[in-house]
A and B are shown apart, each in its own frame.
Chain A
Amino acid sequence: GIQVEQSPPDLILQEGANSTLRCNFSDSVNNLQWFHQNPWGQLINLFYIPSGTKQNGRLSATTVATERYSLLYISSSQTTDSGVYFCAVVTSGSRLTFGEGTQLTVNP
């Protein structure tokens, strides 16, 4: 099956810093989603982005489908951005295959 790799596995930032999270996938995908999992376990949709670039406030994402990677940018990070960020891809039907996540800690 498809492999989804996320990097870095852990990231510690000071409030106000910028960061880039990467997601590599091993095969063509029908769609790609980025999620933020809060400390209570809730998965929150950030982007649906099978290709191209999207922005939502301080967050933006870019997927280059031909090169099989996606990037999530977080600018001016805040303590509330802490949590685990997951990339997930769809190859058949609407089954999501998740990466292992990036644990982000933003310190005040």
Chain B
Amino acid sequence: DAGVTQSPTHLIKTRGQHVTLRCSPISGHKSVSWYQQVLGQGPQFIFQYYEKEERGRGNFPDRFSARQFPNYSSELNVNALLLGDSALYLCASSLSSTGGRTDTQYFGPGTRLTVL
């Protein structure tokens, strides 16, 4: 089975633009989470979606939004890009969202976003 896939792999935008990042979870996984990793730091939680509903939101501004589709794939949208949004954006999938063993999260390869 394929792992978590993300697109695009790399993206260059300018300040003020909008960006959409995409993620497809492992087959059978119903939960998708998004993380932002700035260079030299650990990933920071942005959103979690389970069965198309938002289950958690990290400390990020309203410029960040996400949604999950009926096939469990997900999009992360960022409006009015700032230089500080330059980062590796990681998507993770898991079977459920209860915090137990079935919530082991598996990460995709990430999308590297550069804002100029």
Contact = CB atoms under 8 A, between A and B. Distances in A.
A96 B33 contact: yes
A92 B97 CA distance: 9
A92 B92 CA distance: 16
B31 interface: yes
A107 B44 CA distance: 30
A41 interface: yes
Interface in B14-68: 31, 33, 35, 37, 41-45, 48, 55-56, 58
Contacts of A43: 43, 90, 107
A94 B48 contact: yes
Contacts of B56: 92-93, 95
Given A98-B43, A101-B42, A45 B106 contact: yes
Which among B31, B41, B96, B99 has the greatest number of chain A C-beta atoms within 10 A? B99
A94 B41 contact: no
Interface string A78-108: 0000000010101011111111110000000
Contacts of A92: 56, 99
Q: Which of the four size classes fits the interface of chain A?
A: 20 to 34
Contacts of B110: 41-42
A95 B104 contact: no
Interface in A31-49: 31, 33, 35, 40-45, 48
B105 interface: yes
Contacts of A45: 104-107
Given A45-B106, A94-B48, A95-B56, A30 B100 contact: yes
Interface string A6-38: 000000000000000000000000110101000
Contacts of B81: none
A20 B7 CA distance: 36
Interface of A: 4, 30-31, 33, 35, 40-45, 48, 86, 88, 90, 92-101
